[in-house]
Amino acid sequence: SAVELGPYPHFMAKEIFEQPQAVRQALAGRVEPGSGRVDLGETGLDPATLRSFQRYAIVACGTAWHAGLVGRHLLQRATGRPVSVEVASEFRYGDPMVDAGTLTVAISQSGETADTLAAVREARRRGSPVLAIVNVEGSSLSREADWVLYTRAGPEVAVASTKAYLTQVVALHLLAAWAAPTGAEATGLQLLQLPSRLEATLGLDPAVQELARELAGSEHLFYVGRGLDYAVALEAALKIKEISYVHAEAYAAGELKHGTLALIEPGRWVVALATQRALLAKTAGNVAEVRARGAQVVVVGPGASPGRAELEPMADRYLPLPEAPEPLLPVLAVVPMQLLAYHAARARGCDVDRPRNLAKSVTVE
């Protein structure tokens, strides 16, 4: 049956606000309430097999590739093995180093993206088994993979991916926890808090809407972050490019001085993602650098201190995330970025759900 809009003006808004529920579905039966025990046995894999690989190769396109960048951090930390992540459309051209000792992890909402399917076929040709993280059941990718971890986001209609991305990130958190020799329960318990923390994060909507009105007139935006926040910055920039046609660039904050800083001039807006307390001082330094050149800075950071007390006074606008375990903060930070793209697109009179030149699923290479 057709997916209904309900009270929402656009599918994108509906899908953003559905995220707490989508994550609840993604966790159901996979994390035991109470103990936090993680079990992905439904995939047909087992933790010993998952841990037996010498390396992991993540392939995906677009937003799913951004989820893959988060996944690399998580999986590498959990397994202590090298994890590569590559856009599927480039994978085949680099003589990919995958073999029977490599687990290829393909991430896709639709399971029909031509380049992702081609990358998977190439990986299999080289003897690498494939785990698919996919939303659409029965899709080509789900049929071609050795194992499937469904994201359970439900149907996503808007071209710009929101809840599919978020559930991909959740699936990768689950996979990393399951692969880790210890500590899975602690991660499981944290993940169980995610739906309520996402609900609290959606409370930022009025503040973000106001901010979007201020930013909507800019033709250039810069997003910066370090570590996991850099992955969020890339996703935030893609979201606003896709639907509001604003030129946006994401930079690893430490790379600013290697080029982008030349583009900073009075009045430019910079959005800094700063959720990781260990990186606080460095990110604060980057915020000071761009402000000294006249930029106006939005900081997305912790709702509590340490973090807030240091960052808020430096920011022209501060978006405080709800209190949550630190590993969840980058997951929460994407929500105000989705909302910013959404409200900016509306303010600019763009067709939010059907942006020009783009398709929901790209089935040609």
Give the residues lining the site for ligand G6P (CB under 6 A). 61-64, 108-110, 113, 116, 159, 161, 358, 360-362
The nearer residue to ligand G6P, 175 or 299, going by C-beta atoms, is 175
Q: What residues have CB less than 8 Å from 19, skipping those under 6 apart? A: 162, 163, 166, 198, 202, 335
CB of 320 to ligand G6P, least distance (A): 28
The nearer residue to ligand G6P, 108 or 167, going by C-beta atoms, is 108
Name the residue with the smallest CB distance to ligand G6P: 62
Catalytic residue, from 163, 241, 257, 360: name it: 360
The nearer residue to ligand G6P, 110 or 260, going by C-beta atoms, is 110
CB of 124 to ligand G6P, least distance (A): 17
CB of 304 to ligand G6P, least distance (A): 33
User: CA nearest 239: which of 352, 361, 86, 153?
Assistant: 352
The nearer residue to ligand G6P, 87 or 192, going by C-beta atoms, is 87
Annotation marks residue 360 as catalytic: yes
CB of 25 to ligand G6P, least distance (A): 18
Residues 112, 241, 227, 19, CA torsion sign: negative
Helices (H), the chain: 11-17, 19-27, 47-51, 62-79, 88-91, 114-125, 140-144, 163-179, 184-192, 194-202, 205-215, 228-244, 280-292, 308-311, 329-347
CB of 191 to ligand G6P, least distance (A): 22
Q: What residues have CB less than 8 Å from 72, skipping those under 6 apart? A: 58, 83, 84, 85
The nearer residue to ligand G6P, 23 or 61, going by C-beta atoms, is 61
Asked if residue 126 lies in contact with residue 101, where contact means CB atoms within 8 angstroms, the answer is: no
Q: Kindly list the distances between the CA atom of residue 85 and the CA atoms of 38, 68, 98, 267, in Å, as whole numbers in the listed order.
A: 24, 6, 12, 35
- Which residues participate in catalysis according to the annotation? 360
